[in-house]
Chains A and B, each alone.
Chain A
Amino acid sequence: MDVSGILAEHESRSKAIQVDRLIPVEHDLGVLASFDINMLDETKLRAGQKVRDNYLKEVSREGAQILINELFSLPTTTDDDSVYASLPKTTTVLPREKPIPKEKPMTRWEKFAKIKGIQNRKKSRMVFDENQGEWRPRYGYKGVNNDDQKPWLVEVPANADPDKDQFQARREEKKERINKNQRRQQRNLEEGAMSEKRKHPQQMRKRELQKALVLSKSSTASMGKFDEKLEGEPKIKGLKRKFDPLVAAAGKEKSKNMDILSRVAKGDTSATVLNVRKAQRAINNSKRTKK
């Protein structure tokens, strides 16, 4: 069987799309780009504008033809009368515009759900309401769950106080639910922040309480000596109210008073009165809030 004729015919047909290049052209189809390192005709590029532009058009046409040949050889999918070519992954390293997002710490519920193996099932936004016979949102404006918020009649439960306003009670319950949710969200944020710092989330509460305790004790005149002690309160060391003796040693009283006088005379309120420890703490706090 003589195939040479058929081959010759095919070759003549594909002449229209054939492009000869010495060095094979590299391409990155993921970005629809081709990189041709073949030699260019320098004389034409140095020539006048018209010659140069014509040459550039020629070279561009060939370069685009190579790309088109490659693109039309890719696996395709047809959809709605247009043919799509599935592009391969890009090989050129292109930078991102923002850093990779940090992993968010899991909330209490998420941890629990993971242990129990509870899957999150997406609920639809609209629910069919049998009473009204139409589709209403599950929550929010004109939602199905808000039906009992404006009732025309509320039954007083058997064990409730008859003088209590039940309508008010419903409104208060809803507010309480919202507040509870917000408190839980806040708690999740705080616990998340603590777990990011690799500290145990429950310990944060404890540390905060202890700090508050020490502060409150030191802010009373008697240094919290006569305050009501809480259960399980740790003993705080070093919290003493110091009293100078009534009659001080010979030179001490004089030097102390001279000190005060010199400070007042100077009018120096900044330098010597700086509490270094407090200042350092203030700086650390501002650094932490900046982060």
Chain B
Amino acid sequence: MYTQRTIVFSTNCRKAKNARSKRFLTNRDPKVFENPKTSIFVRGSTTSQVILDTLKDLYSLSKPNAINFTKKNQIHPFDDETGIEFFARKNDSSLFAVGMHSKKRPHNLILGRTFNHQVLDMVEMGVERCTTIKEINSRVCAAGTKPLMVFNGEAFAQNEQMIRLKNILLDFFRGESADKVSLKGLECVITVTAGPTGINGEPGLIFLRTYTTSLKKSGVRQPRIELEEMGPALDLRIRRVRYPTDEMWKQATKVPKELHQPKVKNVSRDGLGDKYGRVHLGKQGIDKIQTSKVKALRKRLDNKPSKKQRTDGAES
């Protein structure tokens, strides 16, 4: 099926000659807390207006962590991955979108990810309709806002291809990973809906819609949300999916020990909120108890009770 590749860890053959280049290289080094993923938008050897519009709009959604290539390239990710891997390595990006057009695969869009500068997984889709931001011509949300993502349809939980697409889309539009989010800045909503499958069992359309939000006052703390279409609006149909190899996926999803939350052991709480813990004493060394040289245990020749006892008895 696909070539089984062993993981090659890239060595840093490039050496920094001054502090500036050193900073540049250390920024691109593997880190515990990673940089936000950059995406590249590449054109194939032949393109159509539809696919160019799609790429342009996806690029504007992904700004500022996005690079748009304007020249055409002989690139076929599913046949030869080295082309896209080269671009990803040079631009230090791990997300890519390739757009091309041919008679066999019209308006072809490939979204994919790399791990360690090697293609991890990709999804090839046909863009059946694209309504651009310009066409819709309404309010646009600021670049760099984290979008809310909504996935509708049970196919996204059942169909393997859709599950893979969902994962890739989440990664694509994730932006910077944050542990806090400003409640005022929730401007953008991207919804992906799985359409019904065709009569012959062919994959259904996937509707990707983008909206800007306006939060209205409701009587309660949570506001009422109203949406206004911003664009792009894409109707996609999955063609091919390249899944990651098991070992590569395993490597990619490893969590460094710095991010592991240490398991708190031996602590429990009861219904009243009291904290309990078990004290383990260990086995008592019975053979090591001092039995000789202990006055109280000494057997007396005259079987008289010990001095202490006698005085107690005298007192009472």
- CB contact between B254 and one of A33, A53, A76, A100 (< 8 Å): that residue: A100
* Cα-based distance from A100 to B225 in the complex (angstroms): 40
- CB contact between A95 and one of B150, B209, B221, B252 (< 8 Å): that residue: B252
The interface residues of chain A, by DSSP majority, are classed as mixed
Q: Are B148 and A95 in contact (CB under 8 A)?
A: no
Given A69-B222, A95-B249, A33:B151 Cβ within 8 A: yes
Shortest Cβ gap from B200 to chain A (Å): 15
* Cα-based distance from A42 to B6 in the complex (angstroms): 45
Interface members, chain A 5-24 (any B CB < 8 Å): 10, 12-14, 16-17
- CB contact between B32 and one of A37, A82, A101 (< 8 Å): that residue: A101
Q: Which residues of B contact A56 (CB under 8 A)?
A: 191, 193, 207, 209
Q: Are B151 and A35 in contact (CB under 8 A)?
A: yes
Report the nearest A residue to B194, measured CB to CB. Answer: A40
B218 within 8 A of A: yes
- CB contact between B34 and one of A14, A39, A67, A98 (< 8 Å): that residue: A98
Shortest Cβ gap from A39 to chain B (Å): 7
Shortest Cβ gap from A274 to chain B (Å): 30
Interface members, chain B 219-271 (any A CB < 8 Å): 219-227, 229, 233, 244, 249, 251-254, 256
A71 within 8 A of B: yes
Number of contacting residues on A, CB 8 A?
Answer: 55
Q: Which residues of B contact A13 (CB under 8 A)?
A: 218-220
B31 within 8 A of A: yes
Q: Are A68 and B113 in contact (CB under 8 A)?
A: no
Q: Are B191 and A63 in contact (CB under 8 A)?
A: yes
Q: Which residues of B contact A99 (CB under 8 A)?
A: 7, 9, 30, 115-116, 251-252, 254
Shortest Cβ gap from A95 to chain B (Å): 4
Binding-face segment, B40-48, B182-190, B273-281, B289-297:
B182-190
A92 within 8 A of B: yes
Given A82-B184, A95-B120, A100-B256, A35:B156 Cβ within 8 A: yes
Given A65-B225, A68-B225, A96-B115, A84:B34 Cβ within 8 A: no
* Cα-based distance from A99 to B252 in the complex (angstroms): 6
Q: Which residues of A contact B207 (CB under 8 A)?
A: 45, 52, 56
Given A42-B196, A45-B195, A64:B213 Cβ within 8 A: yes
Shortest Cβ gap from A147 to chain B (Å): 22
Interface size bracket, B side: 35 or more
A203 within 8 A of B: no
Q: Which residues of A contact B251 (CB under 8 A)?
A: 99
Q: Are A68 and B227 in contact (CB under 8 A)?
A: no
Q: Are B115 and A59 in contact (CB under 8 A)?
A: no
Given A57-B227, A59-B193, A96-B253, A32:B146 Cβ within 8 A: yes
Shortest Cβ gap from B283 to chain A (Å): 34
A222 within 8 A of B: no
* Cα-based distance from A63 to B150 in the complex (angstroms): 6
Q: Which residues of A contact B83 (CB under 8 A)?
A: none
Q: Which residues of A contact B21 (CB under 8 A)?
A: none
Shortest Cβ gap from A162 to chain B (Å): 41
18 A-B contacts (beta carbon < 8 Å): A13-B220, A17-B220, A31-B174, A34-B150, A35-B157, A35-B166, A36-B150, A37-B154, A40-B193, A63-B152, A82-B182, A82-B184, A84-B181, A87-B181, A95-B120, A95-B252, A97-B34, A97-B116
Known: A32-B147, A36-B151; 15 extra A-B contacts, CB below 8 A, are A31-B170, A32-B186, A53-B233, A61-B227, A63-B191, A64-B225, A67-B150, A71-B183, A87-B179, A95-B252, A96-B252, A97-B94, A98-B34, A99-B9, A100-B256
